[in-house]
Structure 1
Amino acid sequence: MISLPFGPFARRNFAIEPLAAADCPHLHRIHVETFRHPWSEEDFHALIGQDTVFGFMAREEGRPGSAAGFVLARLVVDEAEILTIAVLPALQRRGVGRALMDAVLRHLHRERARSLFLEVDQANVAAQALYRRLGFVKVGDRPAYYETQGGRSAALILRRDLGGPA
């Protein structure tokens, strides 16, 4: 478990912990508050039940059952992908997403993964800035991938090389 206070304006401390099947209701609730087309609780149960899928939850310390955000990823052989990452809107831009991504990167380092991929909405400027700071680079895009209020926007495909075995 990692405990981090996030920035000078933070009033709360968060712990980053591995996900478990019991977290699926929290994952669904956060996804509903964060995404236009959220995944169902059953979707999360099915994913967490897969051997190749792992993730982390940010929980507010001192509040059992609290959930601020999560990340879900998949690792197959030496290549990983972020399946989804979400932080409650009221807690965004406070370092929670960064702490979740750091947990994924540490896990992938231990597993000797070589690369990590993710997709991000081209309109999500804050997330793109985080991913750039974490060393991700654009390797492609999927035009008109995401449905938006005004139409559709592209998904940017990003990759970070992790080193791993040669």
Structure 2
Amino acid sequence: MTWKLRRASVADLHHIMEIERSVFVTDAWSEPTMRAELESDNTVYVVATALGAPDVVQGYAGLMVPPGATEADVQTIAVAPDVRRMGLGRALMHALLREARSAGVRDVFLEVRADNTGAQALYDDLGFVGIGVRPGYYQPDDVDAIVMKLELTRPATAVGAS
């Protein structure tokens, strides 16, 4: 399957929240929280739409990268259940990493649920390494978070840049 990746906007909020609630059943972000993320000057959000269907959001990802920062944090990433295991999560992560490189970031951090072995495998494959554990980070499920870090080395072009 092929997707078009573009910067997210508040106009995408409804679609993002549908995916958010279906993927993160017990710990989904609230709509006001997600709206604040999309509106923040310190974050970059990307959505993936089905090729030829620009209103059909099938995944999203966000990166906190304040202007001038050398570190960035993957805030969230989610793929609609019906298009999982097709490479969209990887494409979204590559888009975030391009954004980080474009902003001059040297290190990217993320947290991943200790029970999400699929996501851990993707992050390992992208070069992230585990650097710590946050016990009981994901609530109300009381699941640990594995903290991971990637050191960036190569420049790249940001989403939407020519």
Gaps of 5+ in 2: 156-162
Distance 1:21 1:58 in 2: 15
State the TM-score, normalizing by the size of structure 1: 0.86
Return closer, same or farther for 1:62/1:164 CA change in 2, 3 Å cut-off.
closer
Separation in 2 of the partners of 1:45 and 1:159? Answer: 26
Which structure is richer in relative contact order (CA contacts within 8 A, separation 6 or more)? 2
Letter of the aligned partner of 1:140 in structure 2?
G
Distance change >3 Å, CA 41–CA 147, structure 1 → 2: closer
Cα offsets for 1:41-69 (capped at 9, x unmatched)? 22111111111110110100112310110
Identity across matched positions, percent? 36
TM (normalized to structure 2)?
A: 0.88
Q: Which runs of 5+ in 1 are unaligned?
A: 1-11
Aligned length: 152
Q: Is residue 69–residue 86 contact of structure 1 (8 Å, CA) maintained in 2?
A: yes
What secondary structure does 1:112 align onto?
A: coil
> Does the Cα contact within 8 Å between 1:78 and 1:164 map onto a contact in 2?
no
Q: Which amino acid aligns with 1:32?
A: R
Match of 1:19 in 2: 8
Contact (CA 8 Å) 1:114, 1:164: kept in 2 or not?
A: no
1-side partners of 2:105 and 2:78: how far apart?
Answer: 23
Deviations 1:67-113 (A, max 9, x none): 11000110031110011100011211110000000011111111110
Which of structure 1's runs of 4+ aligned residues deviate more than 4 A?
Answer: none
Question: What code does the residue aligned with 2:145 have?
Answer: A
Query: Shift of residue 164 of structure 1?
Result: 7.6
RMSD across aligned positions (CA) = 1.6
